[in-house]
Structure 1
Amino acid sequence: MFTRNSISVLLIIAVITWGAFLWFLGIQLTWEHAKPYSLTLAVLTGGWTLFNKYLWRKWPCRLFVRTPNLNGMWKVALQSTYRDPETREPKGRIDAYIAIRQTFTSLSVRLMTAGEHESFLVASSFDINDDGTTYLYGVYQGVPSISDRKEVTAIHYGSFRYKVIGSPVTRLSGHYWTDRETGGSIDLFDRRSELFDSFASAEAARKNIRETEHPLP
């Protein structure tokens, strides 16, 4: 990501290059030419900050950016190959939420389940094909609740691949694998703009919305 220092270095290189060409062309240089430097740096830094955090996902910038906007709180359905150690029965469907916070240069993906298990992104990349088909690849760390770390599961790592569906994006669907030799399918849907940091708060907010939309008689 560009910082004020990196933008300053690039601007200095541009100024030196520009000045060298003017000198080569025989145009006299004075310190007056350097006066707009601070203002130019402020404009470039501010412009980049706005673009990176906000403008990249708005029109008309969206016309020139292929990276999909995934920001939001997503409802999640998981189907895992994990089996209960005692009964050997499959886990079945797991309901969860994923909070995605995204800028043009960064992506945060945090999955939360009812048991207060969390998984968060360690590394990620987009694969955007020529036909527009887009996939999100990632490596994550899974952190179960303290009470489950010995009896049920341990801290682990995994990877995933999501297919990005819709423009604007309405769904992500794919698979995941873990270093515990388990895996499964995952489906993200019902995207909302308000973000939460726990399963309970996200579920409570959805419940309030449903009750508002469909009040009890």
Structure 2
Amino acid sequence: MWRWPLIHRLTGRPRIDGLWHASLEPTPESHIPPEGNRGPIEAYLAISQTYWRFSARLITKESHSTTRSHFWIQENSQDLEWVSFIYDNSPRQRYQHRSSRHLGTCTLRPGSRIPEKMSATYFTDRYTQGDIQLQLIGRDGTVAAFNEAEEKRAELETARDRSRARKAKLRAWLPPKWRQQSGRSPETVSRSN
């Protein structure tokens, strides 16, 4: 119910559920082993959210993270909340010789109530920290593995490309006067003339 437009406007809580493509950039000061990945690290963030509950799973080729706790932050000068969460990262067995299980915290800072892009910061108990840039892929965040997220991203990008191509073909059939109206419907154009 809090997602309904009128009610959502009254809250400072952004809607950030879904599948996000993430790029992690560790700082140069991070304590990363010589054979470790210094970034950028490609990842996917799958967020499940209600007004009261929040869960995020960060999935990379080498590991996955699960939320242990979260809290919403609202600065006095802002009317939009941020979310901070503590996560538990479990590397795959083949990478545990250089990347042990660890805890970390992350703060997501959406710029609007229904963002398509976000930025974040993170730090871990392994003395690594950095920035994360996120781009929304879609509202369905149900993925279990990195490859599955990659496939979902490719499917959605293909569907968007097809949709753009169909719209371009339709615009080509419109009379020139309607094409100049930058997306206004023919009914609106005819009424305004």
Normalised by the shorter chain, which TM-score bucket? 0.7 to 0.9
- Using the alignment, how far apart are the partners of 2:109 and 2:123 within structure 1? 15
- Using the alignment, how far apart are the partners of 1:86 and 1:121 within structure 2? 28
Normalised TM-score (structure 1): 0.66
2:44 corresponds, among 88, 97, 101, to: 97
1:62 corresponds, among 3, 8, 12, to: 8
Greater helix percent: which structure?
1
Q: Which residue matches 1:71? A: 17
Equivalenced residues, count: 158
Q: Which residue matches 2:33? A: 85
Show the 5 A alignment for 1:164-179.
164-179=110-125
| Structure 1 residues 83 and 66: CA distance shift in structure 2, 3 A | closer
- Using the alignment, how far apart are the partners of 2:123 and 2:18 within structure 1? 24
- 8 Å contact from structure 2 (residues 67, 86) kept in 1: yes
Aligned CA-pair RMSD? 2.1
- 8 Å contact from structure 1 (residues 83, 90) kept in 2: no
Q: Which residue matches 2:72? A: 126
- Using the alignment, how far apart are the partners of 2:145 and 2:37 within structure 1? 25
1:75 deviates by 0.6
- Using the alignment, how far apart are the partners of 1:121 and 1:158 within structure 2? 10
- 8 Å contact from structure 2 (residues 64, 89) kept in 1: yes
Normalised TM-score (structure 2): 0.73
For structure 1, list consecutive stretches of 5 or more residues without a partner in the other structure.
Answer: 1-54
Show the 5 A alignment for 1:184-195.
184-195=130-141
Q: Which residue matches 1:200? A: 147
Q: RCO (CA 8 Å, sep 6+): is it higher in 1 or 2?
A: 2
Deviations 1:147-171 (A, max 9, x none): 111x221110011222111232222
